[in-house]
Amino acid sequence: MLSREENELLTLVHAGTPMGRLLRRYWIPALLSEEIPNPDCPPVRVRLLGEDLVAFRDTQGRIGLLDEHCSHRGTSLFYGRNEECGLRCIYHGWKYDVEGNVLETPAELAGSQLKNKVHHNAYPCVEAGGLVFTYMGERDEIPVFPTYAWLGVPQNQIYIAKSLLECNYLQGLDGDCDSAHLNFLHKMFKPDARREFLRHEDQSPAFEIDEMDFGFRVAAIRKIGPDKSYVRISQFVMPFIGCVPVGREVDGKLDGFKAVYQVPSDNNNTWRYDFFFKWSKPMIKEDSSKRDFVGADYRKLRIRNNYLQDRQIQKTVNFTGIEEFLNQDACATESMGPIVDRTKEHLGVSDSYVIQVRRFLLKALRDLEAGKPPPGLVYDSGKADFSRIRCDVAYLSSNVSWRTLFEDKSSETGKA
Ligand code: FES
Ligand SMILES: [Fe+2]
Does the C-beta of 114 come closer than 6 Å to ligand 1? no
Which of 123-127, 209-213, 280-284 bottoms out in mean pLDDT, i.e. has the lowest? Answer: 280-284
For residue 370, the CA-to-ligand 1 centroid distance in Å is: 42
Confidence category of residue 196, pLDDT binned at 50, 70, 90: low
Place 193 in a pLDDT band, splitting at 50, 70 and 90.
low
Q: In a mutational test of the pocket of ligand 1, which residue from 68, 70, 104 has the highest number of ligand atoms less than 8 Å from its CB? A: 70
pLDDT > 90: what percent of the chain?
A: 79
> 120 C-alpha vs ligand 1 centroid, how far in Å?
12
Q: 92 CB under 6 A from ligand 1?
A: yes
Q: What is the mean pLDDT of residues 36-53?
A: 98
With a pLDDT cut of 70, the percent of the chain lying above it is: 93
pLDDT bracket for residue 198 (50, 70, 90): low
Measured CA to CA in angstroms, residue 171 lies from 156, 165, 177, 342 at distances of 31, 9, 10, 10
Instruction: Determine if ligand 1 sits within 6 Å of the CB of residue 342.
Output: no
In this prediction, residue 383 has a pLDDT band, given cuts at 50, 70 and 90, of confident
Please report which ligand is nearest the Cα atom of 324: 2
Q: Hey, what's the torsion of the CAs at 59, 62, 68, 71, to 10 degrees?
A: -80
- Closest ligand to C-alpha of residue 183 is 2
Spacing, Cα 394 to ligand 2 middle (Å): 22
Ligand 1 center from residue 69 Cα (angstroms): 9
Span 385-413, pLDDT tens digits: 898 899 989 899 988 999 988 875 544 44
In sequence order, the β-bridge partners of residue 270 are 165, 264
Mean pLDDT of 139-151: 96
User: What ligand 1 atom has the least distance to the C-alpha of 107?
Assistant: 3
If pLDDT is split at 50, 70 and 90, which confidence band does 223 have?
confident
Q: Is the pLDDT of residue 159 over 90?
A: yes
Sign of CA dihedral 98, 294, 302, 11: negative
Q: Could you tell me the pLDDT band of residue 252, with boundaries at 50, 70 and 90?
A: confident
pLDDT surpasses 90 at 202: no
**Residue 14 and residue 24: Cα distance in Å, rounded?**
10
> Does ligand 1 lie within 6 Å of residue 91's CB atom?
yes
Give the model confidence (pLDDT) of 14-34 as tens digits: 999 999 999 999 999 999 999
Residue nearest to atom 3 of ligand 1 (CA): 92
Q: Mean pLDDT throughout 191-199? A: 57
Residue 183 has pLDDT above 90, yes or no: no
Look up the pTM and report it: 0.94
Indicate the pLDDT class of residue 251, thresholds 50, 70 and 90. confident
Residue 120 has pLDDT above 90, yes or no: yes
Confidence of residue 163 (pLDDT cuts 50, 70, 90): very high
Give the model confidence (pLDDT) of 288-319 as tens digits. 666 678 999 999 998 889 999 999 999 999 99
Q: What is the arithmetic mean of pLDDT over 316-338?
A: 96
The pLDDT value recorded for residue 415 is: 37
Ligand 2 centroid, distance to 186 Cα (angstroms)? 7
What average pLDDT does the structure give for the chain?
Answer: 92
